[in-house]
Amino acid sequence: MMRTKKQRGNGNPYRGAYVWPEDTVSFSLPAGCTHADEVREIARQLHLEVASLPEELSRTKFSHGKAVFQSGYIRLMEIAANYEGWEFETNGKELRTVKHGSNLSPFDEFVGSLMLGAKRTPKGHLARGEYERITAEIDRRDFKPADHLERRDRELLRKWNRAHSRDAIQTFSEALRHKRLTVPTDDGRQNLLPRNALLVRLRRTLDKYREAHIPN
């Protein structure tokens, strides 16, 4: 199935179904081309960046070449039908291959997709401003750091929030701006590093998203 972020309107009996624009692509590829070559050319004509392609796509070769003149999205669905267990997905900017049947939590699913699509430096680090953009997107979905950080960190954050109601950290954007807090506990005091805790959690969502969605 080819999925885009444009969903059908309310009342659609096919819950979770997606629609796609009928964008026509036209090209001919030489003998020896593969499904991977097809996908890259379709993505180029649809102005999409290819984020992931499984190796299987390069193993199917066409000895007489390949000519295509049809909706690029329909053709991608046809290609995906040849491979069990995965599909193509686009957010309008990138084209990626994902596995069927994700069991991720809504938080891991949403944040993992944001992390995967984030802009990166040549060394692979997130580009300047990307963490701020991602945390703002998370806050718009009303996810709370006290509910979604790693267990130790969220327990310390809840204690901090109870003891400092006027300075409570309620959003991911706020957590990103705080480097160190000293939290009173039954055993004395413990340090909480909100920014570091947040970055660790975001990177974990990326790992989980890749494991769930991107074929090896």
CA gap 26, 72 in Å, rounded? 9
Q: Are 93 and 49 in contact (CB under 8 A)?
A: yes
Residue 209 binned pLDDT confidence (cut-offs 50, 70, 90): confident
Q: Where are the domains of the chain?
A: 2-99, 106-213
What gap in Å lies between CA 56 and CA 148, rounded to an integer? 36
* pLDDT tier at 216, thresholds 50, 70, 90: low
List Cβ<8 Å contacts ≥24 apart for 111-114.
111/138, 111/143, 111/202, 111/205, 111/209, 112/205, 112/206, 112/208, 112/209, 112/210, 112/212, 112/213, 113/209, 114/138
Phi, psi torsion values for 9, nearest 5 degrees: -70, 175
Q: pLDDT of 136-195, one tens digit each?
A: 999 998 999 999 999 999 999 999 999 889 999 999 999 999 989 888 777 777 888 899
Q: Average pLDDT of the chain?
A: 82
Average pLDDT over residues 64-68: 93
The β-bridge relationship of strands 94-99 and 49-50 is: parallel
Half-sphere exposure of 124 (CA within 13 A, CB side): 1
Q: Letter for the amino acid at 138?
A: I
Q: Which residues contact 70 (CB under 8 A, 6 or more apart)?
A: 24, 25
Q: What is the DSSP letter of 67?
A: E
- Predicted TM-score of the model (pTM): 0.55
**Cβ 14 vs Cβ 20: under 8 Å:** no
* Nearest residue to 155 via CA among 112, 176, 186, 109: 186
